[in-house]
């Protein structure tokens, strides 16, 4: 950890803004679809069943078939546009529940029961690259040609037995950018004063690059009591330690003490918390927020909250309910305030935020530089040009 702290006073210079899109307002920044996104939990897609999801309004059906394994295709029948997810999984494909057209795992139409010799082309639908890991189902909703080269998110702690993992799964009625800002700005612990007591946040510095920003914090307690859940997650010695004198605390914080590092690396966000002297984080959190609807005013979070197991076996398992209670309380307050932010944006019609904190200014830049313009006139799925042509020539 120590080398990171040294870098704080010399942040990476911000490179010139990429001309990725001309996004006038952060809340109108669409999430770039050319990444691997977790769109469901593994347990949501039962064997032999279909599960409907949407990514930025695009309907996608996840299918777990015996013959073809897990696959993802557009959730609409090429015939009458009803969702395939209400149909029948059959022989490595899915059959529409209305007139029985069948599509395989590549989206090709392979059977129309009442049509024996017709050319089934171009009745196909789009398919999506799809992978399963960490108990999550990842889909690549953008240009499938890029799926192989775009890095798949690595989260070692989620597969490390030294950690116990809580999978986060929650839907919040706001643009995903509010989520990044919420977590990145640790000054918002004021929001959680009832659950966490009075915490003083120390901003230690930031580093950044074209598609990322990373911020270090330390904390000291000004008052109130640490909850049991927090104590289990990050230990008693860290943020919990009461330091009444602020300057002493700042000196401490900058030296060697507990450190929290929050990083938005587009489109993901991570939070790591190291207690003083440890070389592995006590808490290692990975989050992804994706837009559910076309207007991108609703987001779904899937996250992996990895908590280092204490030396005493089963202690964490016994204390798990306290962790659940504490984190749910925090999440509910965040959901409440982020939905109020979205409501204010909807009423004001444009982003009026008056941001003065450098860390948040950077995260905003990362989101607008790397996002794409939401196209409000865009309707329907991101079909390839051939599909669109076929549809209109039909």
Taking the C-alpha atoms of residue 156 and residue 164, their distance in angstroms, rounded to an integer, is: 12
**Total Cβ atoms within 10 A of residue 24:** 11
Between 17 and 118, whose beta carbon lies closer to a second copy? 118
Among 68, 70, 86, 150, binds a second copy (CB under 8 A): 86
Question: Is the peptide bond prior to 267 cis by the omega test (within 30 degrees of 0)?
Answer: yes
**Interaction of residue 223 with a second copy, rule CB under 8 A:** no
**CB closer to a second copy, 185 vs 216:** 185
Q: Which of 14, 52, 168, 191 binds a second copy (CB under 8 A)?
A: 191
Decide if residue 347 touches a second copy (CB under 8 A).
Answer: yes
Nearer to a second copy, 112 or 228 (CB): 112
Question: Which of 203, 320, 325, 331 is close enough to bind a second copy by CB under 8 A?
Answer: 203
Q: Which is nearer to a second copy, 231 or 257 (CB)?
A: 257
Interface with a second copy includes 216 (CB under 8 A)?
no
83 binds a second copy (CB under 8 A): yes
52/46 Cα distance (integer angstroms): 12
Q: Per-residue x/- marks for a second copy, 1-20, CB under 8 A?
A: --------------------
* Helix residue spans in 2-136 (DSSP H): 2-7
Residue 171 in contact with a second copy, rule: CB under 8 A: no
Range in contact with a second copy (rule: CB under 8 A) among 3-11, 73-81, 128-136, 140-148: 73-81
Instruction: State yes or no: residue 123 binds a second copy (CB under 8 A).
Output: yes
- CA dist., res. 385 & res. 259, Å (int): 49
* CB of 216 vs a second copy, minimal distance in Å: 14
- Position 345 contacts a second copy (CB under 8 A): yes
CA distance 301 to 288: 6
Question: Please, what is the minimum distance in Å from the beta carbon of residue 76 to a second copy?
Answer: 6
Which of the 8 DSSP states describes residue 241?
S
Query: What minimum distance in Å lies between the beta carbon of 95 and a second copy?
Result: 8
Residue bearing tokens 């295709």: 73
Which of 9, 117, 352, 375 touches a second copy (CB under 8 A)? 352
Minimal distance in Å, beta carbon 15 to a second copy? Answer: 24
* Binding status of residue 115 toward a second copy by CB under 8 A: yes
Does residue 187 sit in helix, strand or coil? helix
* Interface with a second copy (CB under 8 A), residue from 23, 53, 62, 78: 78
CB of 97 to a second copy, least distance (A): 6
Q: Does 114 interact with a second copy (rule: CB under 8 A)? A: yes
201 belongs to the binding site for a second copy (CB under 8 A): yes
Q: Say how far apart CA 294 and CA 274 lie, in whole Å.
A: 38
Is 248 near a second copy (CB under 8 A)? no
Q: Should residue 353 be labelled a site residue for a second copy when binding is judged by CB under 8 A?
A: yes
Binding site for a second copy (CB under 8 A): 57, 59, 76, 78-83, 86, 97-100, 112-115, 118, 123, 185, 187-188, 190-191, 201, 203, 294, 337, 340-341, 344-345, 347-350, 352-357, 379-380, 391, 394
């Amino acid at each position: 950890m120590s080398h990171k702290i040294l870098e704080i006073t010399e942040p990476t210079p911000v490179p010139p803004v990429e001309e990725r899109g001309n996004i006038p307002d952060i809340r109108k920044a669409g999430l770039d679809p050319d990444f691997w996104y977790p769109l469901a939990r593994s347990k949501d897609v039962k064997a032999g069943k279909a599960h409907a999801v949407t990514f930025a309004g695009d309907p996608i059906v996840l299918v777990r078939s015996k013959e073809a394994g897990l696959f993802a295709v557009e959730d609409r029948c090429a015939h009458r546009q009803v969702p395939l997810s209400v149909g029948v999984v059959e022989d490595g494909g899915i059959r529409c529940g209305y007139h029985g057209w069948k599509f395989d795992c590549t989206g090709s139409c392979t059977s129309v029961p009442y049509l024996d010799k017709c050319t089934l082309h171009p009745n196909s639908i789009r398919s999506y690259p799809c992978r399963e890991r960490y108990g999550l189902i990842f889909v690549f909703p953008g240009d499938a040609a890029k799926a192989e080269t775009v890095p798949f998110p690595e989260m070692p702690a989620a597969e490390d037995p030294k950690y116990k993992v809580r999978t986060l799964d929650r839907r919040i009625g706001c643009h995903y950018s509010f989520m990044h800002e919420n977590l990145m700005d640790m000054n918002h612990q004021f929001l959680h004063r009832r659950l966490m007591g009075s915490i003083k946040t120390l901003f230690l510095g930031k580093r950044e690059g074209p598609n990322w920003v990373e911020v270090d914090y330390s904390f000291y307690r000004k008052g109130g009591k640490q909850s049991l859940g927090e104590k289990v997650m990050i230990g008693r010695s860290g943020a919990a330690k009461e330091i009444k004198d602020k300057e002493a605390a700042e000196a401490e914080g900058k030296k060697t003490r507990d450190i929290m590092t929050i990083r938005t690396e587009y489109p993901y966000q991570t939070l790591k918390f190291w207690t003083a002297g440890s070389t592995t984080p006590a808490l290692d959190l990975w989050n992804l927020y994706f837009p559910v609807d076309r207007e991108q005013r609703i987001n779904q979070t899937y996250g992996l909250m990895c908590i280092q197991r204490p030396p005493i076996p089963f202690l964490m398992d016994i204390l798990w309910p306290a962790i659940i209670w504490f984190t749910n309380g925090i999440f509910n307050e965040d959901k409440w305030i982020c939905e109020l932010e979205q409501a204010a944006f909807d009423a004001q019609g444009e982003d009026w935020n008056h941001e003065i904190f450098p860390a948040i200014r950077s995260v905003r830049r990362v989101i607008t530089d790397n996002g794409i313009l939401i196209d409000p006139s865009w309707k329907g799925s991101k079909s390839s040009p051939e599909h669109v042509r076929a549809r209109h020539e039909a």
